A and B are shown apart, each in its own frame.
Chain A
Amino acid sequence: MAYVRSHVLVCAGTGCTSSGCKAVEKAIEQEVSRLGLESEVKIVETGCFGFCKIGPIVMIYPEGSFYCYVKPEDAAELVSEHLLKGRMVERLLYRDVQNPKPTAFFTDIGFYKKQQRVALANCGAIDAENIEEYIALDGYQALANALTQMTPAEVIHMVKQSGLRGRGGGGFSTGLKWEFAARSPGPIKYVVCNADEGDPGAFMDRSILEGDPHAIIEAMAIAGYAIGASQGYVYVRAEYPIAVNRLSIAIDQARQLGILGKGIFGTKFSFDLSIRLGAGAFVCGEETALIASIEGKRGMPKPRPPYPAVRGLWDKPTLINNVETFANIPQILRKGAEWFAAMGTENSKGTKVFALAGNINNTGLVEVPMGITLREIIYDIGGGIPDKKAFKACQTGGPSGGCLPASLLDTPVDYDTLTAVGSMMGSGGLIVMDESACMVDVARFFLEFTQEESCGKCVPCREGTKRMLEILERITKGHGTPDDVDLLLELSATIKGASLCGLGNTAPNPVLATLRFFRAEFEAHVVDKKCPAGVCQALLSYSVIAEKCKGCTLCKKVCPVDAISGTLKQVHIIDKAKCIKCGACVPKCPFKAIVR
Chain B
Amino acid sequence: MLTVAELNEIRSRVRKQLRVRTNGSPVKIVIASGTTAISSGSRAVMAAALEEIAVKGLSTVQVEQREIDVLATEQTAVLVCAHGEEVLYKQCTPEMVRELISKAVTESAE
List residues of A whose CB falls within 8 A of some B CB: 1-7, 9, 39-40, 61-64, 83-87, 125-126, 132-133, 135-138, 140-141, 144, 148, 257-259, 261-266
Contacts and interface: CB of A to CB of B under 8 A. Distances in A.
A229 to B, nearest CB: 20
B50 A3 contact: yes
Given A3-B53, A62-B20, A86-B33, A133 B1 contact: no
A133 B53 CA distance: 21
B7 A265 contact: yes
A132 B14 contact: yes
Nearest to A132: B14
- Ranked nearest first, the 5 interchain pairs of A and B with the lowest CB-CB distance are A86-B66, A136-B14, A258-B1, A86-B65, A5-B63
B103 interface: no
B109 interface: no
Contacts of A84: 33, 38, 65
A110 B13 CA distance: 34
A566 B64 CA distance: 70
Contacts of A83: 65
17 contacts: A2-B54, A3-B58, A5-B62, A6-B20, A7-B18, A7-B21, A40-B46, A61-B20, A62-B20, A62-B23, A85-B33, A86-B34, A87-B34, A126-B18, A133-B18, A136-B17, A137-B18
Nearest to A59: B21
Contacts of B67: 85-87
Contacts of B10: 132, 135-136
Nearest to A265: B4
A135 B14 contact: yes
Nearest to B1: A258
Contacts of B66: 85-87
Given A144-B4, A258-B2, A259-B2, A133 B23 contact: no
Interface string B6-39: 0100110111011011110100001001110010
A63 B10 CA distance: 26
A265 B22 CA distance: 30
Interface of B: 1-4, 7, 10-11, 13-15, 17-18, 20-23, 25, 30, 33-35, 38, 46, 50-51, 53-54, 58-59, 62-67
A7 B14 contact: no
Given A2-B50, A84-B33, A263 B1 contact: yes
Given A84-B65, A259-B2, A265-B3, A4 B23 contact: no
B22 A140 contact: no
Contacts of B63: 3, 5, 62
A62 B46 contact: no
A138 B8 CA distance: 9
Given A3-B53, A84-B38, A85-B35, A141 B17 contact: no
A5 B20 CA distance: 7
Contact of B65 (A39, A85, A140, A258): A85
A262 B15 CA distance: 27
Contacts of A133: 14, 18
A459 B99 CA distance: 82
Nearest to A140: B7
B11 A62 contact: no
Contacts of B35: 85
A83 B14 CA distance: 23
A63 B24 CA distance: 9
Contact of B64 (A86, A138, A144, A257): A86
A257 B2 contact: yes
A79 to B, nearest CB: 12
A148 B3 CA distance: 11
A266 B65 CA distance: 46
A266 B1 contact: yes
A55 B20 CA distance: 23
B22 A85 contact: no
A144 B2 CA distance: 10
Given A86-B64, A148-B4, A4 B17 contact: yes
B53 A266 contact: no
Contacts of B46: 5, 40
Given A86-B65, A87-B66, A136-B14, A5 B50 contact: yes
Contacts of A40: 46, 50
Contacts of A136: 10-11, 13-15, 17-18
